[in-house]
Amino acid sequence: MDYRIERDTLGEMKVPNDKYWGAQTQRSLQNFPIGNETMPKEIIEGFAILKKSAARANESLGLLEKDKADAIGHAADRVLAGELFDHFPLVVWQTGSGTQSNMNMNEVLAYVGNEWLEAQEKEVSLHPNDDVNKSQSSNDTYPTALHIAAVKKVEDHLLPALKQMKQTLKEKADAYQDVVKIGRTHLQDATPLTLGQEISGWHRMLEKTESMIDDSLKYVREIALGGTAVGTGINAHPDFAETVAQKINEETNGTFISAPNKFHALTSHDELVHTHGALKALAADVMKIANDVRWLASGPRCGIGEITIPANEPGSSIMPGKVNPTQSEAITMVAAHVMGNDAAIGFAASQGNFELNVFKPMIAYNFLQSCQLLGDSIKSFDERSLAGLEPDEEKIEKYLNDSLMLVTALNPHIGYENAAKIAKYAHENNQTLRESAVETGVLSGEEFDKLVVPKEMTKPNAK
């Protein structure tokens, strides 16, 4: 392999000729041979956005020549176009401030920008620290890249999938509003409700968690850029923080704001803990929905079997004809993983020592992974399971009529004790409630039929 010599403050490094990074990136590659988890592309894109925006801010403040700002912008645009991802090889498990990833971006943008300046026959050149990193520190750029990435990932990937699943549930709830079925609490028979009412509970879960996630993003829109090394803003223009936030919004069509306290923005990640907590709430909800679906679809002959779901693939390598609720299994595994990510993020966020939290790359990796997995699995579960969910009305009707808990409708008329007497007698003698009511002499058949109407039990009692 052909190499070139790159230099940093520690000396010379051999860098592959076909790579655009410099000495500091190469050192990181050699010093952190840990795992296979590379820096998420969303972080790389976040860095490209902030570097381009910082260059434009510095230009507008008279701190950077237009040609240099143009060159940085050109190189950043190439990153955002997806052309240069091969030049960002660093792993997550590096310095906890993300310094090497910041320098990886600085070095690549300087290299590509200088190629562009040379082609334009400009008589200036970019330095990765002095120009690309002007008015910045790794300590304020990494959390800024993370916040940009987090907001975009939630809004562009997760929320659209959530909205799609929410719409499917709304349609199912409306379609099955009159399908009366037996309710279950404690995994035991309870009073009736409609299938539409049951599904409406799932719909409300998503409606509420969507609101919680969306509301939490207002804190993530605060960015640390302008705090530089420890939050004081040393080596940055007094107007840099506000100006660069404006430039980032122009680039992203976003609503990011400069964090009002940069000391907090560098050492604390409570806003990401908060938002990921809302993601954990969503994970808990999809876990519940998916479990309900696979319980209700269990069978087909020896389970509950009140609903059917699509048969997407053979379910067993040994049992012919078996079909399993694989979409439920996939999304519940994702939910469990997201809950694990939440624990890791919470612990990592607690490790802000003095002026800096140094668990940033791990927080970034886990947060973005949770968004990716939730978005993917919700979309797949919606399209390959919920969309094909249908009631088995014959099975539903049988369970409804067999249930002893219909006796609850008698409480206001004959009292709890008499109602319990009917239910207990029916259970002990393998009778229907109607037969038991008549045989115990509590009610006539006609009185029972008038008082026990399952459809009427799905709403509050009339006055």
Name the residue ranges covered by the structural domains of the chain.
3-134, 140-179+194-390, 403-458
Four-residue CA torsion sign, 204, 210, 213, 217: negative
CATH annotation of 140-179+194-390? 1.20.200.10
User: What's the pLDDT score for residue 1?
Assistant: 78
Q: Check 127, 211, 316, 444 and give the catalytic one.
A: 316
**125 in catalytic set:** no
Choices 1.10.40.30, 3.60.15.10, 1.10.3720.10, 3.40.640.10: CATH for 403-458: 1.10.40.30
**216 in catalytic set:** no
From residue 331, give the alpha-carbon distance in Å to each of 306, 376, 379.
21, 9, 10
Q: Percent of the chain having pLDDT more than 70?
A: 100
Q: Is the peptide bond between 391 and the residue preceding it cis, with omega within 30 degrees of 0? A: no
User: What's the pLDDT score for residue 320?
Assistant: 79
pLDDT digits (tens, 9 = 90+) for 62-80: 999 999 999 999 999 999 9
Choices 2.70.50.60, 1.10.10.10, 1.10.275.10, 2.60.120.10: CATH for 3-134: 1.10.275.10
Nearest to 53 by CA among 174, 201, 226, 231: 226
Residues of the chain falling short of pLDDT 50: none
User: What's the pLDDT score for residue 462?
Assistant: 63
